[in-house]
Amino acid sequence: MRFFIEISYKGTNYHGWQQQPNANTLQAEINKALSVIFNSNIDVTGAGRTDAGVHAKQMFAHFDCDTSFDVQHLIFKLNSFLPSDIAVHDIFKVRDDANCRFDAISRTYQYHIVQKKDPFNKMAYLLQKELDIEVMNVATQHIIGKQDFTSFSKVNTQTFTNDCDVMFAKWEVVNSELIFTIKADRFLRNMVRAIVGTLIDIGVGKKATDDVQKIIAKRDRSESGMSAPAHGLFLYKVKYLNNIKV
């Protein structure tokens, strides 16, 4: 039987999601906790592979298990076993062929910026520069739609295609934070942070709004801006079709 597990985490202390030798990763922590509880080797597959230092307000993973269990009891035990910076919110049965990565129909990321030093908010990028949010939002319109986002991706990622369909992108001020929200069917490695870095360049006047179109057309990572720091990035939401549950 296959199950989806909904989690959130603070990525500060982890070398990303993907399990790897000699590194503390989120996938490894969850595998370890499930394997101890079931006294069997459990290996979860994640909906994405967040980079080192990136956080998730909503992430899904799936795992296979033929042992019956009470969902609420398992959630309680997992939250007891896992470190304080990882939380399990839900577990539910899905179709046996369901895949939390490939069955996702959209993913939403948010990037958080603060412009005044705040000792209580270390999960946002402190950027003490004046930003023209209106101009930045004009520039975001150039990334809407299905396009080749090679210019905003790490090189040599061995993806089949670099086409992504961006459905929504917007900057807004929420309380004292500047938040960039972007939704797409898929994202390339480093894509959101590279887009944010480029839009920051536009916001401070280093680039023009129509430069985004030129950067995309070049299909060259060196044409876009620097990657914004990882600690300001959150995987915010992963969406699936309703028929995935059983």
Q: Are the C-beta atoms of 149 and 217 separated by less than 8 Å?
A: no
Q: What is the mean pLDDT of residues 40-53?
A: 94
Verify that 98 and 112 share a domain, yes or no.
no
Structure confidence by residue, pLDDT tens digits, 153-178? 987 666 788 999 999 999 999 988 99
Model's pTM, two decimal places?
0.95
Write down the catalytic residue from 51, 103, 201, 211: 51
Active site residue 51: yes
Clarify whether residues 131 and 84 are in a common domain: no
- Residue 44's domain is classified under what CATH number? 3.30.70.580
Please tell me the distance from the alpha carbon of residue 147 to that of residue 134, in angstroms, as a whole number.
Answer: 23
Q: What percent of the chain has pLDDT over 70?
A: 99
The proportion of the chain whose per-residue pLDDT surpasses 90, expressed as a percent, equals 87
- The verdict on 68 and 14 lying in the same domain is yes
- Give the pLDDT confidence of 101-147 residue by residue, as tens digits: 999 999 999 999 999 998 988 899 999 999 999 999 999 999 999 99
**Residues 34 and 132 occupy one common structural domain:** no
Provide the mean pLDDT of the chain.
94
* CA distances, 195 to each of 107, 121, 147, 163, 215 (Å): 16, 23, 14, 15, 10
In a domain, 81, yes or no: yes
Q: Which two tokens stand for residue 190?
A: 């480093």
Single residue among 102, 122, 143 that ends a domain in this structure: 102
Q: Which domain holds residue 164?
A: 106-237
Task: Name the token pair of 235.
Answer: 């995987």
Q: How many domains does the chain have?
A: 2
Token digits of residue 114: 């603060």
The per-residue pLDDT for 158 is: 66
Q: How confident is the model at residue 11 (pLDDT cuts 50, 70, 90)?
A: very high
Residue 245 falls within a domain, yes or no?
A: no
